[in-house]
Amino acid sequence: MSSTTGLLATRRLILQGAASVALIGLGNLPFGAARAAANDKYPEEAFKQKSEADAIKALYGKTAEPSDKIKLDAPEIAENGGVVPISVTTTLEKVTSISFFVAENPNALAASYKIPDGTVPSVANRLKMAKTTNVVAIVEADGKLFSATKEVKVTVGGCGG
Amino acid sequence: MASTIRVRATANGDITEVQALIQHPMDSGFVKDAKGELIPAHFIQELKFEYNGKDVFVADWGPAVSKDPYVKFSFKGAKKGDDLKISWTDNKGASDTTTAKIS
């Protein structure tokens, strides 16, 4: 009898423990997000975020506004989601970084590039896309964030087997 | 072992255009192998281009960058015959470095 109640008590304790750990885990997320993009370290937290908005917040700590000074080049239709050529060029001045987000990938942030003084604010790369979704380019210029968005239709995803 | 990094850097006036192609599996951690087991994530996290001891381009990559990644950018101030140093590090701590001559 007493051993049964003992077991139940332990079980309850374990459950409570698990619940509080989960809560603490959730509570911690926003703090990791405070890291600025100017930081030289690899932005691990930003790469872990699922949604594009959270990833932008984790990487830069602010929100972006759309700009027509960013040219985002991506195919209308990508036959192979594993290799989608995407490039960004901007006429904005004082650009310090350019980042690429794929909205509905398991983790939205794909790549982030630091653009030091003297480097042309233009980057081309190839990304994986799980399915048809928006590709968002964020340009950080003079301390502000600007974005450009384009939908790319994917016929074969780049994340399945 | 041959270098995993292939680079072409071409100076045209004041601007040097750099194209790099790196051999790397860039496993996302979401793909299963033939036995149905997940292939663990294995991807390049940081790629750096240095000219004259200064970073001219730094890439932070996640697993969503394609296999055998390609990147293109341009920077100012280099001349033909100068050296450009390229290095990468992946999430398992592996790395590679090479130096390319700007042509």
Report ipTM (2 d.p.): 0.94
Name which of B28, B59, B66 is nearest A83 (Cβ-Cβ): B66
Taking only the tens place, the pLDDT of each residue in A49-100 is: 999 999 999 999 999 999 999 999 999 999 899 999 999 999 999 999 999 9
Where do the DSSP E strands lie in A9-143?
A: 65-66, 70-73, 77-78, 84-90, 95-102, 109-114, 122-127, 133-141
Q: How far is B99 from chain A (nearest CA, A)?
A: 19
Rounded mean pLDDT, A23-29: 45
The answer to whether residues B69 and B26 touch, using CB atoms and an 8 Å cutoff, is: yes
Q: Where are the domains of chain A?
A: 33-154
Instruction: Please give, rounded to a whole number of angstroms, the shortest distance from the CA of B71 to a CA of chain A.
Output: 5
pLDDT above 70: residue A18: no
Q: Which of B25, B6, B13 is nearest to B71 (CA)?
A: B6
pLDDT digits 0-9 by tens, B34-92: 999 999 999 999 999 999 999 999 999 999 999 999 999 999 999 999 999 999 999 99
Can you list the domains of chain B with their CATH numbers?
A: 5-101 (2.60.40.10)
Per-residue pLDDT for B100 more than 70? yes
Q: Which of B63, B66, B74 is opposite residue A122, by nearest beta carbon?
A: B74
pLDDT at position A38 is 44
* Contact residues, chain B, for A38 at CB < 8 Å: none
Fold of A33-154: Immunoglobulin-like (2.60.40)
Q: What's the pLDDT at A156?
A: 74
Return d(Cα A78, Cα A157) in angstroms, integer: 9
Inter-chain residue contact A120 with B65, CB threshold 8 Å: no
